Each structure stands twice: as structure tokens, then as C-alpha cells.
Structure 1
């Protein structure tokens, strides 16, 4: 890092540079350079500036000027981040209000059912963009997401579920669960459901409203359904036609079966439950119509929302979608919503009607804005999809099925506050008991957390109109601003095998269903292979492509890990060559090109398909380099590629487990997913590799001995080395057994080392004792041999002080005085003579042995 210190004298300015470089040079400044005023110098740098007289060092360098320095010129233009903005329908420069900080609000789920692949598409795409901005471009991202826990869909689902459970509980307490009354009620429910589903599909109206008339109508529908063209026409007119057909058919079959059972006297609870289950959609609607207004316990709505919210976050966790920085729930912001609506009313852009408060789109459109400098500007309604303003179907869908239009002035006006009817949750307000409109909820929560505006707002493209357009209008009306959101990011639709996902088409896939067949990594990889704002077609052929790419990357990382293990074993050993030849230069140059192309792709509105292909291409090029053989490659170059590819894959959220191992070293590759039931993934490589290397090394040595024709004792010694050294350090004990099979035990390495060392010490002690005993025995033997050097015929002849005569064997016959020796004395001397003869014979044999 370069640190500049300006020293000023009365006549000159000098620049002192401290830098790490191999050949320091002097930087020359023009004499006309002038120091900035002290007040403009950052406090942290003021100590570097001095206006004192020149020091001795300055005097020594007087007149010596540093060479000129020029700002480097890039070899290629630096990519600039652009994003596709729904507000312009084009890619525009990404500029945040505060440098380096992104404020982002994302429309969260309405929690009333299981999360499905449409949710996965939406929230995973936003998670990927969030990670790119934070982990690649270095932004700090304040990501806010809401949970819609007050909504028409939740109210209806909660009431129907509650009433259906209550109905089944009443059946369970009845002495005759499958009674004629139950059959009549289910028949009535089925009749109403049939009328709702097929009234518009029949060539002529059904004659009557009873079960018999509906049964005749159903027979007519079944006949028409044999015509494939008619069925296709019904699907085109109503995409829910297949779902209605299946539900009505299953309900009718169950009704006929129950009628037979009731006639036969079978009235069990199991039969009754089967009937209700087959007709649960029809019975749920019928019960809600009859008794929905009686559901007054707020816990009914709250508990359903809480259950599905928890389910949603479990699904997101399984997909590795990060939780928002801030989570908001509609039910927690009711007071703020009331205040917000009051503010819009005061500004004249909303009115009360029928106990509800409506946003006045007619008055808002073209209304003159205030502030924003001297420019004159006017409010605009439907900035995202102005062509959808008159789409009555979208407008009605945006209001919800429970919303009353009483008091509404224009078809495009939408509810800010809804008057609650019996059977609906309600909170106090200046307009009477009510609940928030759907659109106002996001405006209030986003404003409460992020203020009067934000950098990014995101959601599915199906929310663009009317939801997001209504959000923009009411927020700009309240804040009196021209542009509440700077960038609107809409994720594309999800299709299954070319068709829109729908329960009616029987291609509805929950996230749990998808994870039964594919891993979270594979699903994310599939989404990365499509642009975030394009329609994503989820099909089996695409998943095969994903699995092929996954195999390529897994094989690459496996090879790099193996080379890394070998490199660690070699440590710092050098063969005297740098191994940085043209092939290595070419690969590193290709890596740099890939890195620039990767940045360019992500700057192009997060073009992840291109970015992924760049990663796969550099891996392919590295594999070609690896094919030269491990003796012909420079591992440092391979590791550079692997490290970058690893970081980029993990940046996308494709990583599993920690990016560092237990030693704090960076993990090579994107990790391994945890097995089902495990809380976290296991780094199999770091766990298994020491054991595998020990076995591999043992195998290598056995092969070498076998190929060299070594003795079996050498191989046995090698097995002892494996047992007593290699496996000991790994905490594995092998106890040899009588049957020839070792008993395997897992023991702490320190205990095994202690036992091994104690055993070795005992062996050494025993060997020392044996050596000492052998030495003593040898000394005794030598002493014996030395004693046997004298022949027995000479052993007494030299003793003239005691003897005066000897026989031919050298045995004394007379003492010194010439007297004959007693027989007892002669016998004793004969024993000594025999012993010496034995010693002498041994001596002679030893001499013969040595001379031979």
C-alpha cells in the first residue's frame, strides 16, 4: 500500500513514498504543486502532512526529483453493472442511493398452503441476485421481506379447514356417522359444486337445482368429455376444468358407494370419513357458505398462517435460500397501515365508501406532483403495465374474492381498507372494524423499514399488475414522490414441461416433492441455467443437463483434491525446476480471460447462464492440461483455477458445508450435501483421506515388494509397520487373533502411541538384558577357553614345589620329598587332570574352528 506524506517548505513541495517494491524509484512532483488546506485533509492523514522546516533527509535529497508516474490504462473497458428494470423494460445502469448499500424490498408469500416450485423459482432467483450483489460486487444488502398473513385466501382456507374439522369431529361423536342426513348434506354440497364448475360448460341449463338434476347434468358432461376437441375447448376457456372434473368425478363415485353402504346398513365412521374426504372441496365450500360467518375466533386465521409460514421457511432452508435481513408480518403492522391510509385520504387520493376506503385512480392519474426540484411532474398510474389498466379480470383478482365493491366509484379503484364482514378478522379504524387491502400492506411495511423509497423492489412477474402498480401509486401518493422504487425486478414464470404449473393440470409440484427427486444444489443449478427474468421451463431433460454438469465439476474437484493431498506430502520439496512453462502461462491467461468474461456476464443483468458456462469451460480447459499427467503439471496453477471456480460456485449458493476445513484451510470444491436426517454435511474427504492414504501407501509398498520378488518376511514386516505406526497415528488398533484375523478397534491415538512406546521400551529392556546375559556368557566362555589353553600333561609339571615325579600323562607320582603320593591324593589330582583335558579339548576345537 502506498502512503503519501507531503512536506512543505517555503519554496518547494516534496512527496515521500513508502512502498514495497523491488526497485524503489523517486516520484517527481511539479514545483507548482500546492498543498490542500489542512481543513480539507482527512483527520487520519493530517499526521502525514508537515509545514515545518526541511529535515536533514530533505536536505540530502534536495534537487533530486522522482520520475513521473502515469495512471494505468486498462487493457479492456471495465464492465458496468446493468439490470433489467421493469420500470423501463430495458437494462439500465445500477446506481444505489447510498454508495455500496442496497435497500431492497421483496414481496413474500401469502401463507395458506404448501410452498411449491413457483415459490422456489421466485425466491431462489432473488436469493441468487442478492448473493451476487453482496458476495461478488461487494454491496451491503438490506433485504426486507414480508409475510402476508392477512388475506382473503387465508380467511377462506382457514374457515373451511376449521369447519371441515368440526364437521368430522361431529361425525366421530355420532352413533351412526354415515347417516341419511350426512348423505343428504354431502349430496347438496356436491350439487352446488357441480353447478359452480360446469354450469357454463353445458349446452343447455340443468333442469332443476336438486341432486337428481345435477346427476343428469354430470352424465351429460361425461358424454361430452369423450370428445377431445370439447375437452380442449373447456381447458382453453377455464384452465381449472381438469381439476373440477376430477373433483366432481371422485365425489360422485364416493357418493354412490356411500349410498350402497348406507342401504346395506354399513354406517361406520371410516365410511363417512371416506365420503367427506372424496368431497372435501365441495363440502368445504358448502360449510363455509352455511356457517362461515360464525367463525369469530382470531386464532383460527392466525394458526393457519403461522403453520404455513413455518412450512415456508423450512422449504426455503432446504433450498439454501437465506432469510431476509428484516421480516415483516401484516398482522404486526395494522396501526401503521391505518395511519398510512389516513395520510392518503388527507392528500385527496382516497375516499370512504361502504365502510371501506378506496384509492382514487382517476384523481391520481395526471395529478400534479409537488417538490422534486423545479421540474414540473405529474403522477402516473400503472407505471409497470399501463396496457393492463382496463383488464377487469386482473383487477378483480387483485381485490380478492371476499371484497365487496359497495361504494367503489371506478372499476380501477382498489381497496386500501376493507370493511370486515362476519367471519372475517377485524381491527378498529376511523372507518369502522375492518382489515387491510392486499396492496397497502407492502407499501406500509416497506416504508416503515426502508423509509420514503428504496433501491430495489422484487417479486414474481404475475404481481406486476395490479399489485405492484397499485403499490407504486399509493406509495407515491402518500410520500408525494415521483419515483418510490428505482428498480423493479420481476422473476419469470415457471412452467413444467412446457405447461404452466397448476393443480388442475396435475403438474403441481411442491418443494418437498421436488427435493425427493433432486437435490437443492441441482434445483438451484437448474434455475441458474435460465435468466432470472425469463420464463423457466422445468423439465426432465434440463435436469439431466444439470446432473451432467454436476458430474463434470465433481470429477474435477476430486482430481484436484487428490493432487492437493500429494502436494502436502511433498511439502516444500523441490526438484530444482519451476514448472512454469508455456502450458502454465496459457492456462493462467485463460483463467484471467474467464474471470473477465464472468464479470461481464454478471454485469449484464446477472446473466447466470453465461457465467455458469464460463466456469464449465475453464474446468474443461484445465482437464485438458491435467491430461498431461501429474508429473507434467504445476499444481499451483491447477489450484488457482480450482480456488476461483470454488468461490464462484459458493457465491451462487451452490456450496455445501463450511468453505474451510477443521484446520482452517480452504476447502477445494463445493462440498457435499448432508445425508437425509443429518443436520449438516460431512467433509468426507478430510475425514477419510488420511486412512485412504495409509492404505494406498501400504498397497504401493506391497506391490513393489511383490514385483521385486521379496521374501515373505519383508511383507510381514511391512504389515507390522502398518499396524504399529501408520494406523496408530490414525487411532486404529489391530489386535492379532488366533484365527489369523485381526480385531479392529478405534482408540484415541495418544493412548495407542503410549501403549506402543511402552511396548517398545519393554522390548528394548528385554533385549538389553539378553545382550548383557549373552555378553556375560561370552566372557565366561572365553575365560574357560583361556583356561583350557594349557595341555593337561603340563598342568602339574611346573609345580616342582609340591611334586618331584610325574607319569607319562603328567600326573604327579611323588611329593617334593620323593615319597609316593597317597591314593586319595592321586584320585583328586586325576579329577583335576580330566577337567583340564576337557577344557583343553574345547580349546583345541575352537582353534581348529577358527583356522578353518
Structure 2
């Protein structure tokens, strides 16, 4: 019996010494491993995280604080979420995971749900439904789509209609400061001519004459009620919130006069975020309301054509997931920096699929190597050096404006270095320690970035399913070996045929068995088998 921690450590140390190959002395093997541990520990200091701030047009360092407040502009729930929206939310989910998993920041994220809007009212009239019913239905669908894409839900989902008192208070404050006025139609507008800091994000367009507003740049804070539309009473008359005021009121309610991160698609930069910044700085009497404005690029369908509901070229999340997996779509987003545009077409998705397959194959080969017994080798200095360099590169790339593209490339270089040692017997010609460390770096990085490994190489073992499959595959392996070693060719072929039938049957439920001369290994894929896909579509 091993009674205490010291004895356990000494036991494992002795076992490691015994298992070192004859090509290295025991002491030299331990020295190599110790150097790796020391170097790994010395590189544990986290670099500062830089982010591209669109207001300053420069990279800036995030504040050195354990907690970050983040407001993210949510959907107007009048239709299904398309993959242009999905790309934006997946990218911000990746950024959030990087901050939480690599830099130990506690991110408090709030997202609004615009559940009252002209588009919702128009859709409700067309469907002959109540606008609030339409909004709730699409809100539920939005949350479901976020789950399907493995996007972490914000800490708070805030419906606009639940913040009417806060919005009215916000507007009243601006009126009292003489920064808002009532128009002839009873609506309330923000007066950009009296706010001399308007235009922080872009050079504002020229002012043109307007019959209702003082300036064409002025924007609605409160829209006067129209016949047959939802409204709330106020001291200025019945109406409903304008678009920009909702985000300002909700974010201010939770975060006050300063927000660390505020994000959205690049098309929200002007006028939406310009207007938010103006009215919030005026409300809070500050020069800057948000520390860092971050944006994702557009999703294009090829030929630089933006996906947009107004262009009627949208593809819904559920439509895409009929052809591609959520992991493949996420890898597409990972292959470029979050602020860059993304091309969505067969070629780009095939590249994402191949990249994901490359990771899956490597993890599969690592798993096969570690499952099968073999002679233990001493660690190779060159591979251990590659491991430490890869860890450092991944961390530094993610700290540099969340550059996931370069981080993935570092992992691919690591896998290429290991694949040089991969043999036809599905093993690596190196130590199990090195294989285990490489597998850990790759799998942990993918998991930290939101790639759902449960749907790639690992099954849910809550019911010991993995153990059952192991037993089946082991039985099949023994049966194959018996047949291969049999002197009767007839018996051999019959048994091998049965093994092939079992392999094919397992494939129909996404369990792939791969044979070598002596071993068989298995993996699980989330891809829908062709036979089942044809049945579901028929």
C-alpha cells in the first residue's frame, strides 16, 4: 500500500526510472523531463492582453483587473438568426472564452433582446399575431440556436420591454440637461447640435434639412405612439423607446458610467454606437463611456457580397447545421481574426472541415498510442522543446488581439512535428509522456476555444458507453487476430467478414473502427451518417 503523498511521488519517480529506454541513462532522462517542467513553469507568466479599439484605431492593453464588464448588442427578434449574426456571436464567444480560460478574467456579460421594434410590429401584422408573441417565439429560437452553436449564454439577457422605467428616466435626464427636445409629432429626439463631442467614431455626414428634427443627425429617444401599435404612457405622451436608447439604459443600469467592453457587428459602429456613446456620456457627465469598442467583420457569401436580411440572401443557423457541424462553423470563425470579414462558401467550409479533421485525427492517433501497451521510451529533447514553444506561442497569439488564426497554426506545426514519428502501426515513435503532453495541449486549446470535443473524439460516459464500446472493439480485435492466425483460409475469411460487418454497423451510429496489423481503435464523430441523413430528409 502507498500510504502518503511522498511515497506516491517516490513510487511514480521510481517507475519512470525503471521504464526509461536503454538509449538514454536514467539520470539523463530525468534531467530532460526536469528541464521541460522548469521551462514550462518559467513561461507561466501571462502576457498583457491587447485589443484593437475601433474608436482610437489602435491596439490598447486591457485594464489589469480580474473582472471585466461587457455589453454585447443582441438581436431584434423578428426573424430567425442567420449565420451572419451567428458568426458575430461565435467570435465574441471565442473572445470571452480566451479571457476566461487563458487570462483568468471574470467576464460579466449583458446582452439585450430588442423585443419591441418597427420590424417586429410589421412582422406581427403580416402574421396576424400579437407583436409580443412574435418576439417571444423568435427569442426562444435565438436562445436555442446559441445552444446549438455552443455559445455560452450571457450572464444576463435583458428584454427592452422590461426596462421601460429606466429608459424613461434616462430620457428625462437628457431633457433636463437641454440635450433632448420634443418634435411636432410628439417624439423625443437627442439634440446632436448641442452635444459638441458627437462624431467620435467616424466623420459625421453633412447635415441636411428635416421637417421633424432640428438636424438630420438627431435620433429618436422616444417614438410617439401610432394607431394599432404597442405603447407605454409617459409624461411626454404615449409611445415606445427608440432603438439606441435601449442599449444605453440597460448597460447603464448594470454597469453605470463605465463599461470595459462593448461589442457588435461592424455595421453597428455608426450610427448606433456613435449615438450610444453620445447619450451615455451626456447622461453620466463623462468624456468616455466605454473603454474598448470591439467589432466583428461581415460574413460574405463570395464576391464580397454581405449576408443581410435586406438583401434577402440569408441562411439560417438550422439550415447550415444540416450540412455542417457546429464545430466546423466555429473552426471557420477561428481561422481568421475576429475583426476580419469571413467568406462563407463551399471552399472555406471545406477548409474548416479539413482543419478540424486534422485535429481530430491527431487526437485519435494519440489516444490509440496511449491505449496500446508498448515499450516506454525516454523523452526527446527536441519534442519537449517544441511543446514548450507551442504553449508559449498559443498564449502570446491569443494575447495579441485574440489572434486565433496564428494560435491554430502553432498547433498544426506541433502536430506536423509529431506526425514525423507516426508509424504504420498507429503509434508514435516517441515516449508516451510526449504523446500525452501533445494531446493535452491540442485538446485543451480546442476546448478552451469552444470546440466541443464531446462531439468529436469523446463520448458521454455517464452510462459507461465508452467502456461498452471498448469491450466490443477488444472482442472484435481478438476475433480478428484468431482469424488471421488461423490455418484455415475459409474460417479466416468468415471471421474477418463478421468483423467487417460489425465495423460497418458501428459506423452507422457514428463509431468508426480503424484497423492496423495488430490493433484496432475507435473514435466517435458527430457527423450524421449518410444513411440516416437520407432517412431524415425523405
The residue that corresponds to 2:378 in the other structure is 580
Deviation of residue 478 (structure 1)?
0.5
The residue that corresponds to 1:34 in the other structure is none
The alignment partner of 1:345 has SS state of helix
Deviation of residue 704 (structure 1)?
4.3
Q: Which runs of 4+ in 1 moved over 6 A?
A: 72-78, 680-684
Q: Are 2:160 and 1:362 aligned?
A: no
Which one scores higher on RCO, CA 8 angstroms, separation ≥ 6? 2
The residue that corresponds to 2:267 in the other structure is 462
Deviation of residue 80 (structure 1)?
2.4
Relative to structure 1, is the Cα distance of residues 503 and 337 closer, same or farther in structure 2, using a 3 angstrom cutoff? closer
**Does structure 2 conserve the Cα–Cα contact (< 8 Å) formed by 1:82 and 1:603?**
yes
**Does structure 1 conserve the Cα–Cα contact (< 8 Å) formed by 2:359 and 2:442?**
no
What is the CA–CA distance in structure 2 between the aligned matches of 1:593 and 1:463, rounded to whole Å?
39
TM-score, normalized by length of structure 2? 0.78
**Does structure 2 conserve the Cα–Cα contact (< 8 Å) formed by 1:656 and 1:681?**
no
Deviation by residue 1:58-102 (Cα, 9 ceiling, x = unmatched): xxxxxxxxxxxxxx9978996321111111111111115xx2111
Which residues of structure 1 form unaligned runs of 5+?
A: 1-20, 23-71, 163-298, 366-379, 397-404, 659-668, 675-679, 716-852
Relative to structure 1, is the Cα distance of residues 315 and 76 closer, same or farther in structure 2, using a 3 angstrom cutoff? closer
Aligned residues: 452
Instruction: Find the partner of 1:329 among 159, 179, 189.
Output: 159
Relative to structure 1, is the Cα distance of residues 431 and 458 closer, same or farther in structure 2, using a 3 angstrom cutoff? same
What is the CA–CA distance in structure 1 between the aligned matches of 2:109 and 2:453, rounded to whole Å?
23
What is the CA–CA distance in structure 2 between the aligned matches of 1:123 and 1:82, rounded to whole Å?
20
RMSD after superposition: 3.0
Aligned residue runs from structure 1 range 42-441, under 5 A? 79-95=47-63, 99-162=65-128, 300-354=130-184, 355-365=186-196, 380-385=197-202, 387-390=203-206, 407-441=212-246
Relative to structure 1, is the Cα distance of residues 445 and 504 closer, same or farther in structure 2, using a 3 angstrom cutoff? closer
**Does structure 1 conserve the Cα–Cα contact (< 8 Å) formed by 2:422 and 2:428?**
no
The residue that corresponds to 2:28 in the other structure is none
Aligned residue runs from structure 1 range 767-806, under 5 A? none
**Does structure 2 conserve the Cα–Cα contact (< 8 Å) formed by 1:351 and 1:359?**
yes
TM-score, normalized by length of structure 1? 0.50
**Does structure 1 conserve the Cα–Cα contact (< 8 Å) formed by 2:199 and 2:274?**
yes
Q: Are 2:441 and 1:644 aligned?
A: yes
**Does structure 1 conserve the Cα–Cα contact (< 8 Å) formed by 2:443 and 2:453?**
no
Instruction: Find the partner of 2:354 among 548, 551, 557.
Output: 548
Q: Are 2:522 and 1:691 aligned?
A: no
What is the CA–CA distance in structure 1 between the aligned matches of 2:405 and 2:42, rounded to whole Å?
27
The residue that corresponds to 2:418 in the other structure is 622
What is the CA–CA distance in structure 1 between the aligned matches of 2:338 and 2:323, rounded to whole Å?
23
Relative to structure 1, is the Cα distance of residues 445 and 681 closer, same or farther in structure 2, using a 3 angstrom cutoff? farther
**Does structure 2 conserve the Cα–Cα contact (< 8 Å) formed by 1:649 and 1:670?**
no
The alignment partner of 1:690 has SS state of helix
The alignment partner of 2:262 has SS state of strand
Aligned residue runs from structure 1 range 513-552, under 5 A? 513-552=319-358
Instruction: Find the partner of 1:558 among 364, 384, 387.
Output: 364
Deviation by residue 1:362-396 (Cα, 9 ceiling, x = unmatched): 1111xxxxxxxxxxxxxx112122x134387xxx9
Deviation of residue 562 (structure 1)?
1.7
Deviation by residue 1:442-477 (Cα, 9 ceiling, x = unmatched): 000011112222100000110111100000000110
What is the CA–CA distance in structure 2 between the aligned matches of 1:445 and 1:437, rounded to whole Å?
13
**Does structure 1 conserve the Cα–Cα contact (< 8 Å) formed by 2:297 and 2:339?**
yes
What is the CA–CA distance in structure 1 between the aligned matches of 2:46 and 2:104, rounded to whole Å?
16
Relative to structure 1, is the Cα distance of residues 76 and 690 closer, same or farther in structure 2, using a 3 angstrom cutoff? closer
Instruction: Find the partner of 1:700 among 466, 469, 481.
Output: 481
What is the CA–CA distance in structure 2 between the aligned matches of 1:516 and 1:305, rounded to whole Å?
25
The alignment partner of 1:657 has SS state of helix
The alignment partner of 2:395 has SS state of helix
What is the CA–CA distance in structure 2 between the aligned matches of 1:684 and 1:627, rounded to whole Å?
29
Relative to structure 1, is the Cα distance of residues 74 and 700 closer, same or farther in structure 2, using a 3 angstrom cutoff? closer
Deviation by residue 1:20-63 (Cα, 9 ceiling, x = unmatched): x99xxxxxxxxxxxxxxxxxxxxxxxxxxxxxxxxxxxxxxxxx
Q: Are 2:390 and 1:613 aligned?
A: no
Deviation of residue 627 (structure 1)?
3.0
Deviation of residue 505 (structure 1)?
5.8
**Does structure 2 conserve the Cα–Cα contact (< 8 Å) formed by 1:657 and 1:681?**
no
Relative to structure 1, is the Cα distance of residues 687 and 133 closer, same or farther in structure 2, using a 3 angstrom cutoff? farther
**Does structure 1 conserve the Cα–Cα contact (< 8 Å) formed by 2:423 and 2:429?**
no
Relative to structure 1, is the Cα distance of residues 553 and 681 closer, same or farther in structure 2, using a 3 angstrom cutoff? farther
The residue that corresponds to 1:246 in the other structure is none
The alignment partner of 1:517 has SS state of coil
What is the CA–CA distance in structure 2 between the aligned matches of 1:494 and 1:631, rounded to whole Å?
40
Task: Point out the more displaced range, 422-431 or 72-81.
Answer: 72-81
What is the CA–CA distance in structure 2 between the aligned matches of 1:73 and 1:595, rounded to whole Å?
11
The residue that corresponds to 1:633 in the other structure is 430
Deviation by residue 1:517-541 (Cα, 9 ceiling, x = unmatched): 1111111101111211111111211
Aligned residue runs from structure 1 range 495-510, under 5 A? 495-498=300-303, 499-502=305-308, 507-510=313-316
**Does structure 1 conserve the Cα–Cα contact (< 8 Å) formed by 2:49 and 2:62?**
yes
Relative to structure 1, is the Cα distance of residues 636 and 75 closer, same or farther in structure 2, using a 3 angstrom cutoff? closer
Deviation of residue 493 (structure 1)?
0.8
Relative to structure 1, is the Cα distance of residues 632 and 160 closer, same or farther in structure 2, using a 3 angstrom cutoff? closer
**Does structure 1 conserve the Cα–Cα contact (< 8 Å) formed by 2:419 and 2:428?**
no
What is the CA–CA distance in structure 2 between the aligned matches of 1:465 and 1:93, rounded to whole Å?
24
Deviation of residue 685 (structure 1)?
4.8
Q: Are 2:388 and 1:592 aligned?
A: yes
Aligned residue runs from structure 1 range 472-491, under 5 A? 472-491=277-296
**Does structure 2 conserve the Cα–Cα contact (< 8 Å) formed by 1:426 and 1:434?**
yes
